[in-house]
Structure 1
Amino acid sequence: MTTTEISEERLNKAAYILKAVAHPVRLAILELLNVNEKMGVLEICNALKCEQSLMSHHLINLKLKGILGSTKEGLNVYYWLKEKEVIKLIKCIENCNCNM
């Protein structure tokens, strides 16, 4: 592929997804929901040892970007991984040998 063949739409989509998940807490949420099919906010907070207000911020952000789905049951909100393909991205990055 030459530089004239680079799809701006494709690059914008990739950047959008990368920005959405580019935070350690958000990555942890994705990994947790990949292992556990559906979890409540408090379950996620307890598993990741994070305050509920901060967790809600990250969960809402991921939901608005279309990466997570949610449902409300009574007073509880449950989240699940809607875009399971994003886990492949995390696994791919784990294989990178960047200087850290």
Structure 2
Amino acid sequence: MNIGSMIKIKDLDTEMLDRAAGMLKAIAHPMRIAILSHLEDGNKLTVTEIHKLLNIEQSTTSHHLGILKDKGVLASERQGKNTFYYLKHNSLRNIVDCVSKCTVVK
């Protein structure tokens, strides 16, 4: 997306603003930001892979993934016995990038 085609907040209707706020609320949790950081660059991971990467309980991982999926941040794809989670919109990685850059203490 180039600068000329970027949507401005003032151009969003109430429904779109509600969805955007819901997505941001879902992302606004340290563990969920960590999950998103592992799903950058088109990565697709299972619950098991994510829980091992983050060293948290599988049930906790599933809970966070469910919230992110419910709010439209993540999508999933079933392959055999496994369900792979990934960023629903590639541009969401910009949020993770922004958070990373904005939290660096100088």
Aligned residue runs from structure 1 range 1-100, under 5 A = 9=14, 11-35=17-41, 37-96=43-102
Can you give the 5+ residue segments of structure 1 that lack an aligned partner in the other structure? none
Q: CA RMSD in A?
A: 2.6
Larger radius of gyration: 1
User: Alignment partner of 1:44: what SS?
Assistant: helix
Please say if residues 23 and 72 of structure 2, whose CA atoms lie closer than 8 Å, have aligned partners that are also in contact. Answer: no
Change (3 A) 1:35 1:85: closer
How high is the sequence identity, in percent, across the aligned residues? 41
Can you give the 5+ residue segments of structure 2 that lack an aligned partner in the other structure? 1-9
TM-score (norm 1): 0.76
TM-score (norm 2): 0.72
Number of matched pairs: 95
Q: Residues of 2 paired with 1:41 and 1:7: CA distance?
A: 34
Q: CA deviation at 1:92?
A: 2.4
